[in-house]
Amino acid sequence: MDLIEYIDSKRESNLEELKELLRIPSVSTKSEHKPDIERAAAWVAEKLRAAGLENVEIAPTKMHPLVYGESLHALGKPTVLFYGHYDVQPAEPLDLWTSPPFEPAVRDGKLFGRGTADDKGQVHIHLKALEALKNTFGSLPINVKVMIEGEEEVGSVSLWDFVRQNRERLKADALIVSDTAMLSKGVPSITYGLRGLNYYQIEITGPAQDLHSGIFGGAVPNPITILAEVIAKLHDRNFHVAIPGFYDDVTVPSRQERKALNALPWKEKEFRKTVGAPALSGEAGFSIVEQLWVRPTLEVNGIWGGYTGEGAKTVIPSKAYAKISTRLVPDQDPAKIAKLVERHIRKLLPKTVRCKFELLSTGKPWVAPYTHPIFQKAIHALESGFGKKAVFIREGGSIPFVTQMYDTFKVPCVLIGFGLPDENAHAPDEHLLLENYFAGIKAIALFYQQLAAL
Ligand code: BES
Ligand code: MN
Ligand code: MN
């Protein structure tokens, strides 16, 4: 049996195995899921061993363990580091799922469940590609290091420590990641830029405790009103972020790059349909693709406080909260931006309230050239798997580890995504197109095989 025949013969069993992983609710942000995180890490470790990797280790960190394994027997051949994450976002709101988030189900050629696209399904593509190579040829054609972490969705907080302590072990000729999306269905894509992310939480306190709004209303500050006023001032009419200095270090892409990005087979109509809003809003002067990929943003992710239960309760709340994030592009510096954001918000606040400002996580933007010969190998492999030539895209999401690896080792980072923009990552009814899952295993197996000739 050759490699492709082998992969085809495993379609059903691979899919069943992926469902096992999807049934583990490894939600990294919630402490009640700690046992599930541990179970998912153990599951990944077991599959790494099955794929022929050695020195498999479940490395504890301050938060969630990461799983590492390696196979270093291809003398004189390149070494790649594959990175992914086994943790997932919370599944709430549960009532919006057509089938339960942790009971994977196939409908319409799509596999539904939390983590299908982000990132368990994509990690599994690599595990099965490695296993196929090992079982077809008896050993792996290149040297492979695999690192699957459990904190990506909470900002990869412990990863910095791990990389610092394992510099030698993580050294590789290239980083391979599948945690992004294809430009659209049928268009295999290689991502060469990601935005960075700073995540903040603010707590506004007015009165020392909740107050009767009849007895006190009219004379005391309402922290919710004040928070809403501040938030409303963070953008101007053109949807520019109205924080002084915010754009100071933003690199405007070259004319040539803007032209290339705007010429991609990206479909505005599909995008509008996926968004589903009556109309779009974005920073004036930039195309949608530019707004998404090369411009920084500020978003309010959540706002709460006061009474939100059934019926009426007349109260002036003591506190109001918001979760805010900024997406960053080269060459914005996350630490500098965090200072600017905090300083500006404090300046906008009246003296009637106190403010606690926290930076929950931070991550740098990334963009890199794709001239290294490894990208040609990726294009060829994707063409064999998908029957289409790949395009080079940037994306608006963030993967802290990519920046970190690039900064530390300056190695080529090959981001091959098998998700689709409308697959509801982080949202109800997340899914993965099975066609991409199966083609992905073939493409990645061929990619690893062809890297032997690099
Ligand atoms: N896989 C995504 C990142 C992503 C999504 C890249 C879409 C490109 C396109 C990753 O799991 C993710 O969700 N990252 C978080 C950042 C993290 C620090 C919480 C994000 O981008 O919000
Ligand atoms: Mn992801
Ligand atoms: Mn994610």
- Give the burial class of 298: count Cβ atoms within 10 A of its Cβ; 0-12 exposed, 13-18 middle, 19 or more buried: buried
Residue 374 has pLDDT above 90, yes or no: yes
Please tell me the distance between residue 197's alpha carbon and the centre of ligand 1 in angstroms.
9
pLDDT band at 157 (very low <50, low <70, confident <90, very high): confident
Cβ contact 345:222 at 8 Å:
no
Question: Is the peptide bond preceding residue 333 cis, with omega within 30 degrees of 0?
Answer: no
Radius of gyration of the chain (CA): 23
Q: Looking at 17, 70, 87, 430, which residue is catalytic?
A: 87
- Candidate from 27, 152, 426 with most ligand 1 atoms within 8 A of CB, to mutate: 152
Average pLDDT value over all residues in the chain: 97
87 in catalytic set: yes
Cβ contact 424:110 at 8 Å:
no
Helix (H) or strand (E) holding 138: none
Q: Whose CA is nearest to atom 13 of ligand 1?
A: 153
pTM of the predicted protein model:
0.95
Per-residue pLDDT reduced to its tens digit, 203-215:
999 999 999 999 9
Please tell me the distance between residue 120's alpha carbon and the centre of ligand 2 in angstroms.
9
Please tell me the distance between residue 118's alpha carbon and the centre of ligand 2 in angstroms.
5
Q: Which pLDDT belongs to residue 140?
A: 97
For residues 97-113, average pLDDT: 98
pLDDT band at 195 (very low <50, low <70, confident <90, very high): very high
368 lines ligand 1 (CB under 6 A): no
Per-residue CA distances from 326 to 15, 41, 184, 200 (Å):
37, 30, 25, 8
Q: Are strands 413-417 and 174-177 parallel, antiparallel or unpaired?
A: parallel
For residues 320-348, average pLDDT: 98
Cβ neighbour number for residue 358 with a 10 Å cutoff: 11
pLDDT band at 82 (very low <50, low <70, confident <90, very high): very high
Q: Which pLDDT belongs to residue 453?
A: 94
Residue 310 has pLDDT above 90, yes or no: yes
CA distance linking residue 91 with residue 99, whole number of Å:
12
Q: Are strands 79-85 and 143-149 parallel, antiparallel or unpaired?
A: parallel
Please tell me the distance between residue 417's alpha carbon and the centre of ligand 1 in angstroms.
12
Q: Looking at 118, 119, 151, 152, which residue is catalytic?
A: 152
Per-residue pLDDT reduced to its tens digit, 226-282:
999 999 999 999 999 999 999 999 999 999 999 999 999 999 999 999 999 999 999
What's the CA dihedral at 262, 267, 273, 277 to 10 degrees?
10
Per-residue pLDDT reduced to its tens digit, 407-439:
999 999 999 999 999 999 999 999 999 999 999
User: Which residues have a Cβ under 8 Å from the Cβ of 435 and sit 6 or more positions away?
Assistant: 109
* Ligand 1 atom closest to the CA of 197, numbered from 1: 18
Residue 160 has pLDDT above 90, yes or no: no
Per-residue pLDDT reduced to its tens digit, 358-373:
999 999 999 999 999 9
Percentage of the chain surpassing pLDDT 90? 98
323 lines ligand 1 (CB under 6 A): no
Percentage of the chain surpassing pLDDT 70? 100
2 in catalytic set: no
Tokens read off for 314:
């007349």
Q: Which pLDDT belongs to residue 311?
A: 98
Angle at 405 between CA 27 and CA 22, to 5 degrees: 25
Ligand at minimal distance from the CA of 29 is 1
